[in-house]
Structure 1
C-alpha cells in the first residue's frame, strides 16, 4: 500500500481537500464502502456497481482524452492520454473479471439500465469536456483519481490481511503504488494549473472538484440503494 504525502499546503489541492473533508469522510463511511471493507457487501450491489463503473469509465476516458488534447505541456498530455488508456484497458479488465466471476452474460449486462446518479456523473464530465476551460476540466477529473485512492488505501489499512476477501482485487487496484503515482501526477497538474489561473478560474475549479466529489458519493449510494428510474412506470 502506498500512503500519499500531503499536497503542498499552499496549493489548490490542499485547500480543496480541506474544504471537502466532511464529504470525503462520508464517502469512506458510506454503507457501500463499509460493507465492501468488511466483506459483507452483497454480490448484487457490487455487480450493479461494476456494470455502472465500466460505463462510467468510458465517459471518464473521453474527458481525459479531451483534456490531453488541450494540454500545453507534452508531459501533461502524455499523462492524461495514458490515464485515458488505463481507464479503458486496465480498470475495465478488473471489472470484466468480476462480471465473469458473477456469471453475468453480455445480455444481462446490457439489460442493466444506467440509473440517474451514474448517468448524471458521466454527463457532467462530458459537459465539462465540452464547455469548461482546461483547468476546470482537470479539477473535475481529479476526484476520480484521488477519492478512489483514498478509499482503497483506507480500506486496506483498516483491513490488513485480504486473504480470502471477495473484493481483494478491487481494493488492491486502488491502494497500490502505481495508482498512487497517477494520483500524485493528477494533483501536481491541478496545483500547477490553479497557480497560473485567475481567481475566477480557481473558484470554478473548486466548484468542479466539489461537484465531482459529490457525484462520487452519489455513485456509490446509487449502487447501495440499487437505484432505478422512478419515472420508468410512465414509459410507453
Structure 2
C-alpha cells in the first residue's frame, strides 16, 4: 500500500477528525470490528450487515448525486457523480455476493427488514441533500468515505493482510490504494470548500460531519445486535 500525501494539518478535515477522535477510536474498537479483525465475526451477523450496507449505499449514492449537481466545477462534479455510480455498482455487487455466498434468495433478502439505524442514516443524508447548503452536504458525506478507510486500514495492519482471513475481501476493499485515493480526493474537496466558507457554515459542516460519524457508529452497532424495530410486536 503506497503512501498518499495528506491534506493540510490545519484544514477543516484535520479539525473534524480531532473533534471526533474518541468516536473514531470507539468505532475501530467496537465489538463488530474487533470480531471482524480476529475473524470470529458470526456469519449471520456479517450477512445482516451486508444487507443493510447495500441498502445504505442507495441513499449514499443519492446524496452524492445531489452534491454533484451543485458542484461549481466540472472536476468536482465528475468525482462526485463517479462516486455515486460507484456506490450503486457496489450495491449490485454486494447483492449478487450475498445471494451467492450466503445462499440467500431474493425473497429472503427482502424479508430482512431495514434496521432503524440504517433508515435513520440514509434519511439524514437525504434530508441534508434537500435542506442544507453544498458545503454542509459534503461534510455529511465524508465520514462514509473516511471512516471505512480508517477501519479497513487499521484492520489490515492488525491482521498483516493474512490471505486466509475469512473477511479478507472486505478488508482489502477499504484498505487498497484506489479507495485511499478517492478518500483523499474527498478530503481535499471538503477542505477546499470549507476554506472559502464563513464561520457559521464551517460550524454547520462540523456538526454534519460529527452527526454522520455518530451514525457510522450506530450502523456498526446495529449490525452487531442485528437491530430490529422494537415496535414490530405491535403490528400485524
The TM-score, its normalising length taken from structure 2, stands at: 0.97
Shifted more, 37-46 versus 158-167: the winner is 158-167
Helix, strand or coil at the partner of 2:230: coil
CA distance in 1, matches of 2:153, 2:59: 25
Q: CA deviation at 1:96?
A: 2.9
The 1:68/1:185 distance shift into structure 2, 3 A limit, reads: same
Q: CA deviation at 1:91?
A: 5.4
Alignment map for 1:179-190 (pairs within 5 Å): 179-190=179-190
Alignment map for 1:49-64 (pairs within 5 Å): 49-64=49-64
Instruction: Name the residue aligned to 2:112.
Output: 112
1:26-71 deviation digits (Å, cap 9, x = unpaired) = 0000000110111100011000000000000000000000000000
Paired residues, what number?
A: 236
Helix, strand or coil at the partner of 2:101: helix
Alignment map for 1:124-163 (pairs within 5 Å): 124-163=124-163
CA distance in 1, matches of 2:95, 2:33: 17
The TM-score, its normalising length taken from structure 1, stands at: 0.97
Q: CA deviation at 1:118?
A: 0.7
Contact 1:57 1:92 in 2 (8 A): no
Unaligned runs of 5+ residues in structure 2 are: none
The 1:4/1:40 distance shift into structure 2, 3 A limit, reads: farther
Unaligned runs of 5+ residues in structure 1 are: none
Instruction: Name the residue aligned to 1:84.
Output: 84
Contact 2:153 2:175 in 1 (8 A): yes
Instruction: Name the residue aligned to 1:36.
Output: 36
CA distance in 2, matches of 1:161, 1:177: 14
Q: CA deviation at 1:132?
A: 0.5
1:177-217 deviation digits (Å, cap 9, x = unpaired) = 00000000000000011001010000000000000000000
CA distance in 1, matches of 2:5, 2:211: 24
